[in-house]
């Protein structure tokens, strides 16, 4: 059976930019949008046009420069929002309006002081109104993660009948377990009669650290789009991280799912977003953290030096990372020390390495990381017959 394509909907410029202190100006947003197009995303959510004149201008300018990828603007299920998004997207080659409303009982009662029936009417009206401006309308059922599945199925059926091409099932609060989120998607696929007329999208937040797992559970159960951000940035604990879902689908061929992302651009793209947004990436972040390809324990270093696959499931070249690093610390073993000395041009026999290793451990206990200059100094001071440079 041929593999199924998963669309990558990047919301770095909308949900990602909601992070406090990460506000971007229009020029920065255009630069990132062009880089996202080059990376191979399928949809760029460029902003929330009614929210501010700056966001309107960003969506409008991005619409002008992006050539192949869909450009999307967010709205509430409010006529004026939708009109403004339609205007901002007017020059986009492939515009999409992303409209929606809260569907959990909590949102319906506490936020809208409304009823399930009234929300169904408002959802359908919003989609129909948006279809006056664009052919491609995505509907989001906000807080779908905590929405009763029976009612959610009615919402999905209603908005598809009203003309939605994509239905987004957000786990807005990052509450779901992967099994629950996957079952929710499967329930919709099996219980919405017109589901073949639209695709389902996963939009997961990371409040419990499950955004990536939930998105993968979603596509394993029939969703065909993942909404994500570079470096996983976004509201509160963030959104699903683009680089993680892309590499999971690439590594696990048995899922029979693929994306069009050029993975060798992942690390450069991560750095570009981090620098532009001044939001630095944690060193242990999967795929793009500075330690993602560093080995520091002696057991791992020994295995890695014999065969990289023993401790690395991804070749760093494949994701545009610097080559794998052996970090010399007090946890390193003789083989890592011998390897580094050899790389620095020194030839020592086994006995020399045994002696040098004791000296190395003394330095390593004093410093967090032993540098090449420390090793060169140590090698220079060492005077047995066997040393040659």
Binding site residues, ligand KIV, CB under 6 A: 15, 140, 142, 168, 170, 172, 203, 205
User: Toward ligand KIV, which CB reaches closer, 170 or 232?
Assistant: 170
Chain positions 345 to 374 lying near Zn ion, rule: CB under 5 A, are none
Strands 225-228 and 7-10: parallel
User: Toward ligand KIV, which CB reaches closer, 114 or 294?
Assistant: 114
> Smallest gap, in angstroms, from Cβ of residue 170 to ligand KIV?
3
Chain positions 226 to 265 lying near Zn ion, rule: CB under 5 A, are none
> Smallest gap, in angstroms, from Cβ of residue 105 to Zn ion?
20
> Smallest gap, in angstroms, from Cβ of residue 239 to ligand KIV?
8
The Cα 389–Cα 377 span in angstroms is: 13
Only one of the segments 15-23, 32-40, 74-82, 104-112 lies at the binding site for Zn ion (rule: CB under 5 A); that segment is 15-23
CA dist list (Å): 216 to 2, 143, 220, 246, 257:
19, 18, 6, 10, 10
User: Toward ligand KIV, which CB reaches closer, 15 or 61?
Assistant: 15
Q: Which entry of ligand KIV, Zn ion, none binds 142, CB below 5 to 8 A by partner kind?
A: ligand KIV
Which residue's Cβ has the minimum distance to Zn ion? 15
User: Toward ligand KIV, which CB reaches closer, 168 or 231?
Assistant: 168
> Smallest gap, in angstroms, from Cβ of residue 3 to ligand KIV?
27
User: Toward ligand KIV, which CB reaches closer, 7 or 302?
Assistant: 7
Q: Which entry of ligand KIV, Zn ion, none binds 168, CB below 5 to 8 A by partner kind?
A: ligand KIV
> Smallest gap, in angstroms, from Cβ of residue 235 to Zn ion?
6
Size of the site for Zn ion (CB under 5 A): 1
User: Toward ligand KIV, which CB reaches closer, 146 or 339?
Assistant: 146
User: Toward ligand KIV, which CB reaches closer, 203 or 300?
Assistant: 203
8 Å CB contact between 269 and 39: yes
User: Toward Zn ion, which CB reaches closer, 58 or 332?
Assistant: 58
> Smallest gap, in angstroms, from Cβ of residue 151 to ligand KIV?
17
Q: Which entry of ligand KIV, Zn ion, none binds 221, CB below 5 to 8 A by partner kind?
A: none
User: Toward Zn ion, which CB reaches closer, 29 or 203?
Assistant: 203
Looking at the DSSP assignment, which residues form a beta bridge with residue 204?
Answer: 171
> Smallest gap, in angstroms, from Cβ of residue 11 to Zn ion?
7
> Smallest gap, in angstroms, from Cβ of residue 97 to ligand KIV?
12
> Smallest gap, in angstroms, from Cβ of residue 250 to ligand KIV?
26
HEC letters along the chain:
CCCEECEEEECCCCCHHHCCCCCCCHHHHHHHHHHHHHHCCCEEEEECHHHCHHHHHHHHHHHHHCCCCEEEEECCCCHHHHHHHHHHCCCCCCEEEEEEEECCHHHHHHHCCCCHHHHHHHHHHHHHHHHCCCCCEEEEEECHHHCCHHHHHHHHHHHHHHCCCEEEEEECCCCCCHHHHHHHHHHHHHHCCCHHHCEEEEEEECCCCCHHHHHHHHHHCCCCEEEEEHHHCCCCCCECEHHHHHHHHHHCHHHCEECCCCHHHHHHHHHHHHHHHCCCCCCCCCCCCCCCCEECCHHHHHHHHHCHHHCCCCCHHHHCCCCCEECCCCCCCHHHHHHHHHHCCCECCHHHHHHHHHHHHHHHHHCCCCCHHHHHHHHHHCCCCCCEC
Only one of the segments 14-22, 26-34, 136-144, 310-318 lies at the binding site for Zn ion (rule: CB under 5 A); that segment is 14-22
CA dist list (Å): 207 to 42, 177, 265:
26, 11, 27
The Cα 171–Cα 254 span in angstroms is: 26
Binding to Zn ion by residue 15, rule CB under 5 A? yes
Only one of the segments 9-17, 243-251, 261-269, 285-293 lies at the binding site for Zn ion (rule: CB under 5 A); that segment is 9-17
Q: Which entry of ligand KIV, Zn ion, none binds 140, CB below 5 to 8 A by partner kind?
A: ligand KIV
**Cα angle 45-49-54, degrees, rounded to a multiple of 5:** 105
Only one of the segments 10-18, 89-97, 186-194, 259-267 lies at the binding site for Zn ion (rule: CB under 5 A); that segment is 10-18
Chain contacts with Zn ion (rule: CB under 5 A): 15
């Amino acid at each position: 059976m041929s593999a199924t394509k998963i669309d990558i909907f990047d919301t770095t410029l909308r949900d990602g930019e909601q992070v406090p202190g990460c506000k971007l100006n229009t020029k920065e947003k255009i630069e990132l949008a062009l880089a996202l197009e080059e990376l191979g995303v399928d949809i760029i959510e460029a902003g929330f046009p009614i929210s501010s004149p700056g966001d309107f201008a960003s969506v409008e300018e991005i619409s002008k420069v992006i050539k192949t990828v869909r450009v999307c603007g967010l709205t509430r299920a409010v006529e004026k929002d939708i009109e403004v998004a339609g205007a901002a997207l007017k020059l986009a080659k492939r515009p999409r309006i992303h409209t929606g409303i809260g569907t959990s009982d909590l949102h319906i009662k506490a936020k809208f002081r409304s009823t399930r029936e009234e929300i169904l009417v408002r959802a359908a009206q919003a989609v129909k109104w948006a279809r006056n401006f664009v052919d491609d309308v995505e509907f989001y059922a906000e807080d779908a993660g905590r929405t009763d599945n029976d009612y959610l199925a009615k919402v999905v059926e209603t908005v598809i009948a009203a003309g939605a091409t994509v239905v987004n099932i957000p786990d807005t609060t990052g509450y779901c377990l992967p099994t629950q989120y996957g079952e929710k998607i499967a329930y919709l696929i099996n219980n919405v009669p017109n589901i073949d007329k639209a695709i389902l999208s996963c939009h997961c937040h990371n409040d419990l650290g499950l955004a990536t797992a939930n998105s993968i559970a979603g596509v394993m159960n029939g969703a065909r789009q993942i909404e994500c951000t570079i470096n996983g940035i976004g509201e509160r604990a963030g959104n699903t991280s683009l680089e993680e879902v892309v590499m999971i689908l690439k590594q696990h061929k048995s899922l029979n799912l693929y994306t069009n992302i050029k993975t060798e651009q992942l690390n450069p793209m991560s750095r570009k977003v981090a620098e532009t947004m001044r939001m630095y990436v944690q060193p242990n972040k999967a795929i793009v953290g500075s330690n993602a390809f560093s080995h520091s324990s002696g057991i791992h270093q020994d295995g890695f030096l014999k065969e990289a696959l023993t401790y690395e499931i991804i070749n760093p070249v494949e994701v545009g990372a610097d080559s794998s690093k052996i970090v010399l610390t007090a946890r390193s073993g003789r083989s890592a020390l011998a390897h580094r000395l050899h790389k620095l041009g020194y030839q020592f026999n086994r006995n020399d390495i045994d002696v040098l290793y004791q000296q190395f451990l003394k330095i390593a206990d004093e410093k967090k990381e032993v540098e090449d200059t420390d090793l060169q100094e140590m090698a220079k001071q060492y005077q047995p017959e066997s040393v040659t440079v």
